[in-house]
Amino acid sequence: MTSSDEPADSGEHDQHAATMVRRFGPVGARRVIILVVAIIAVLVLAQVWANVWTTQLWFKSIGYSSVFRTEYLTKGTMFVVGAVLTGGLIWVSMWLAYRHRPVYAPVTAELDSMDRYREAIEPFRRAAFWVVPLVFALFAGSAAIGQWKTALLWLNRQSFGTTDPEFHKDIGFYVFTLPWLQVVVGFLTMALILSLISAVVMHYLYGGIALRDKEFAPLEQRGFICRCCWRSWCWCVPWLTGWAATA
C-alpha cells in the first residue's frame, strides 16, 4: 500500500464509522427500545386478554355474566381514576418545577457539578415528562384495582339498624364506609408523596434547590415556599376529609 492510498482508506474508514453511528446511534437505539417495549406490551396485553376472556366464559357458563360485568367495570373504573389522578399529580408537579426553574441559576460549586447531569438529561426531558408519570400511573392504577371489593361494598352499603355505644354510628359505617375512607386517604397520600418527590427531584436537577452543608436550600425563596405551602395544603386535604367523615 502506498502513501497515496492512505487518505482514501482513511476516508472510507471514516465514512463506514459514520454509517455505523447513524445506524446504531441514538436514533437506532431509540427504535430498538420502542420495538422491545412494543413487543413486551403486546405479550402482556395478550396474556391479560386471555385471562379476561377465559373468566368471562366461565361466568357465562354458570349464568352470572352480570357479576363479571360488574367486577370488571369496577376494576376498570378504579384503574383509570387511580392512574389519571396519580399520573396527573406527578406531571403537574414536574411541569411546575420545570416552569419555575431559575432562568439564570446562581453559580455555585453544587450547581456546577449538576451542569453535566442537566446536559445529559435535556435531550430526554420531553420523553421523561410523559414516561415517568405514565409508569407511576400504571403502578397506581394496578394498586387501585386491588380495592375493587371495598369500593363495591361501599357503593352497596346498608344500614345494620344498630349503633355502637361509643360514637353512636351505625355498625354499617364501620363495615362499609370506614374501610373505603381509609383506602381513599391512603391512596391520596401516596399520590401526593410521589408528586412531592418528583417536584423535589426536578427542582434539584434544574437549580431550584441546592445541597448546602448537607441540607437542601432553596435558591428561589418566594416561589419555592409558595409551592411547598400549596403542596402541604393538598397533603392535608385527604386527612381532613377522613377526619370530617368519621367525626
Q: Which residue has the higher pLDDT, 4 or 168?
A: 168
C-alpha to C-alpha distances, 211 to 59, 94, 96, 112, nearest whole angstrom: 58, 19, 20, 12
**For 49, phi and psi rounded to 5 degrees?**
-65, -40
The per-residue pLDDT of the chain, averaged, comes to 76
CB 209 within 8 A of CB 224: yes
Q: Which of 41-45, 78-82, 100-104, 138-142 has the lowest mean pLDDT?
A: 100-104
The 10s digit of each residue's pLDDT in 180-212 is: 999 998 999 899 889 888 888 887 777 766 655
The pTM is what?
0.70
Give residue limits of the domains in the chain.
Answer: 1-63, 64-246
- Block residue for cell numbers 369496577: 74
Query: Which pLDDT score, from 0 to 100, does residue 143 have?
Result: 93
